[in-house]
Amino acid sequence: MAKPIAKAIHELKHAMLEISFLQCALDSLVVFLVSLLVFMLLTLPWWYAFAPFLIYAVLHTYRNVKSQKLAKAEETVPELDEQLRTVADNLDKENEIIEKLNSEVLKNMKKIRTSYFFSFGRLTRELLMIAIVSFLIIGASAYNVQFLDFKKTVKDLAEYQRGGEYALQEELLQFEENLSDDIYGNESIAELGGQELQLQLNPSLSDIDISQIKDPEHREFRSTVPTDITGTTDVSFEETIPKGYQKIVKSYFREIVKTR
Amino acid sequence: MRLEDTKKTFDRVMHEMGKVIVGQDEMLKQMLVALMTNSHALLEGYPGLAKTLAVRTMSDLLELKFSRIQNTPDLMPSDITGTYIIEETSGGKRNFKFQQGPVFANIVLADEINRATPKTQSALLEAMQEKQVTVGNNTFKLEEPFFVLATQNPIEQEGTYPLPEAQADRFLLKIKTGYPDEKDELEIVNRYAEAIKKVSLKPVLNKNQLLYVQDVTRQVPIANDIKKYVVDIITKTRTKKDLMEYGASPRASIGLVLASKARALLEGRKYVSKADVNAMAYPVLRHRIILSFEAERQNMDTDAVIKTLLK
């Protein structure tokens, strides 16, 4: 038969785990709803929101379950500090001192309330957030609100990167190097510590006259083909070997291949 | 003796010792830890800090056989272990009879241990480790409990033989005795500079009670987290090469856990706390680590280095 302290610790761990799962479920739900709203506003398929939801849920639950240690319960009841872990680690041992410690811990464990493991402030904030985001999702769906057509933007961006639309005149982008000995400003102000600085500036001329850049011309192409353009068949590819000789030629080349 | 009485008994020991020793509570507690863990302790401090008096007082409070060895360079191993003497019987026959040395006691005070030669130190340290003495072809088991409380002086190193690290490792604790504060020193002056009053000490613990306490000490449970913490500290002494040239052995891990258990019991707790480990790390590790040149260059002493290992 299991010791009462073993049962109590098992119950405590179970309760802590349940609360942890609930907390994780709520956190993940918030992530799902926010992702859903974002994807809706970006006109992406709503089921894309499952990806961040699943990743977050798995990682968050794993981390939370792993951190569920008795030390957390000890934090809530200072009288149990370090004792709960000691008892849990020594459940298989029996002696006078451990028995006394077990009974003391069991008495103090009654002070632990499940509510200690809930952060009511956080819970309230999360519920409030779930409600707000849900309303926003309903509203966005009802009025078909879209901030950005994500697919179209990506397509436009790809086209822009190819650079087809804005062809600049190359000659306007050329620059000349000015090799004159001119120095800008007064020589006397370039003196440092009584010594004149021998500086030579070679400024580059790279002005671009933006006003000369024109919009691309719109050209129309005629859909009908002009009548003066005619097409003829090229006869150079036609085989002129008489049918009777074709067999001889084929067998000739076959023999050549064989002899190689 | 019952478990509930353990704390009361130690409080009584401390109270009785307080009648003689002033301002050395931590030293007294650590001496008790050594007794509770059935281990030996090395007391180090400047002259006049009541090291010897503390051990003598402790022996008065325990109904145990006490002996004192005043170590000098000419002390021989046989002066400690004992030797064979020729005994003449009534019939005129002569026999060899083993004459037990001072090591055959429950509490042995080895005063100024570093004044004895390495050969004599080894005889004592062998008895400490094996709890037996071999003279000639015969081995004599020492009576339980057996403690050696040795003292040494950190100054006046001329003509001394400092304990090698391997031998110092036999002592569970190296207890440092510091100077008392001003208030305590005034109390010492008041107590001992006036008319000499004979202090009557009542024995508090007998042999069986002490053996029970030693048994209970080992039973004190410890959490796995705390055990890991202990091992972590000891491992760090070997890996922190910037501060320590040589670290502690696994014997230090065992010693630190045991000492922490004893301290927990002294404090009236039935479990080991991290605070116990932190408090006992100093006396357990002090003589087991060798500082690096870098630590010495930074003017760090052993306690300062140990402090860096604790969380």
Q: Which residues of B touch A98 (CB under 8 A)?
A: 219, 221, 270
Closest alpha carbon within chain B to A88: B223
DSSP A212: G
pLDDT in tens, B37-74: 988 999 888 888 888 888 888 888 888 888 999 988 89
Average pLDDT over residues B148-159: 82
Residue B232 pLDDT: 94
**Is B87:B94 a contact under the CB 8 Å cutoff?**
yes
Query: Any chain B CB within 8 A of the CB of A83?
Result: yes
b/e B109-132 (16+ beta carbons within 10 angstroms → b): bbbbbbbbbeebbebbbbbbeeee
Which stretches in chain A have pLDDT values below 70? 1-2, 163-208, 222-227, 229-239, 260
Residues 6+ apart with CB under 8 A from B31: B41, B43, B54, B55, B58, B149, B175
Mutate to test the interface with B, among A3, A67, A84, A89 (most CBs of B within 10 A): A89
Query: Any chain B CB within 8 A of the CB of A89?
Result: yes
Q: Which of A112-126, A208-222, B104-118, B197-211 has the highest mean pLDDT?
A: B104-118
Higher pLDDT among residues B90 and A210, named by residue = B90
Q: Is the pLDDT of residue B13 over 90?
A: no
Query: Any chain B CB within 8 A of the CB of A79?
Result: no
How far is the alpha carbon of A2 from chain B, nearest alpha carbon, in Å?
A: 19
CB contact (8 A) between residue A97 and residue B221 = yes
CB contact (8 A) between residue B270 and residue A101 = yes
Query: Any chain B CB within 8 A of the CB of A92?
Result: no
Q: Is the pLDDT of residue B163 over 80?
A: yes
Task: Report, in angstroms and rounded to the nearest whole number, the Rg of chain A calculated over CA atoms.
Answer: 42
Residue B264 pLDDT: 92
Residue A20 pLDDT: 87
CB contact (8 A) between residue A86 and residue B219 = no
Closest alpha carbon within chain B to A85: B223
Query: Any chain B CB within 8 A of the CB of A98?
Result: yes
Q: Which residues of A touch B219 (CB under 8 A)?
A: 95-98
Closest alpha carbon within chain B to A86: B223
Mutate to test the interface with A, among B5, B271, B272 (most CBs of A within 10 A): B271
CB contact (8 A) between residue A89 and residue B271 = no
Residue A189 pLDDT: 57
CB contact (8 A) between residue B222 and residue A86 = yes
Average pLDDT over residues B226-242: 92
CB contact (8 A) between residue A101 and residue B272 = no
Q: Is the pLDDT of residue B159 over 80?
A: no
Residues 6+ apart with CB under 8 A from B260: B222, B226, B230, B272, B276, B277, B279, B280
pLDDT in tens, A86-126: 998 888 888 888 998 999 888 888 888 877 777 888 889 99
Average pLDDT over residues B77-82: 88
Mean of pLDDT over chain B = 87
pLDDT in tens, B262-273: 999 988 899 999
Cα–Cα dist A243/B26, whole Å = 121
How far is the alpha carbon of B228 from chain A, nearest alpha carbon, in Å?
A: 12
Minimum-distance CB partner of A86 among B216, B219, B223: B223
Q: Which residues of B touch A86 (CB under 8 A)?
A: 221-223, 226, 271-272
Amino acid at A65: V
Cα–Cα dist A243/A3, whole Å = 105
How far is the alpha carbon of A142 from chain B, nearest alpha carbon, in Å?
A: 56
Q: How many CB pairs under 8 A join A and B?
A: 49
How far is the alpha carbon of A88 from chain B, nearest alpha carbon, in Å?
A: 8
Among residues A161, A202, A156, the alpha carbon closest in space to that of A182 is found at: A202
A131 backbone dihedrals φ, ψ, rounded to 5°:
-60, -45
CB contact (8 A) between residue A87 and residue B221 = yes
Residue A168 pLDDT: 58
DSSP A81: T
Closest alpha carbon within chain B to A101: B270
How far is the alpha carbon of A89 from chain B, nearest alpha carbon, in Å?
A: 6
Residue B263 pLDDT: 93
Average pLDDT over residues B144-171: 83
Cα–Cα dist B284/B166, whole Å = 14
CB contact (8 A) between residue A97 and residue B216 = yes
pLDDT in tens, A235-252: 555 667 787 888 888 888
Q: Is the pLDDT of residue B300 over 80?
A: yes
* Paired strand residues for B87: B95
Give the ipTM of the model, two decimals please.
0.79
pTM higher than 0.90 for the full model? Answer: no
Residue A195 pLDDT: 60
Higher pLDDT among residues B18 and A214, named by residue = B18
**Is B17:B57 a contact under the CB 8 Å cutoff?**
yes
Q: Which of A92-96, A187-191, B30-34, B180-184 has the highest mean pLDDT?
A: B30-34
Residue A155 pLDDT: 82
DSSP states of B105-153: SSEEEEETGGGS-HHHHHHHHHHHHHSEEEETTEEEEPPSS-EEEEEE-
Higher pLDDT among residues B82 and A205, named by residue = B82
Closest alpha carbon within chain B to A99: B270
Query: Any chain B CB within 8 A of the CB of A71?
Result: yes
Q: pLDDT band for B220, please (50, 70, 90 cuts).
A: very high
CB contact (8 A) between residue B219 and residue A97 = yes
Q: Which long-range contacts (CB under 8 A, 24 or more apart) does A131-139 make?
A: A133/A30, A133/A33, A133/A34, A133/A37, A134/A33, A136/A37, A137/A33, A137/A36, A137/A37, A137/A40
Q: Which residues of B touch A90 (CB under 8 A)?
A: 221-223
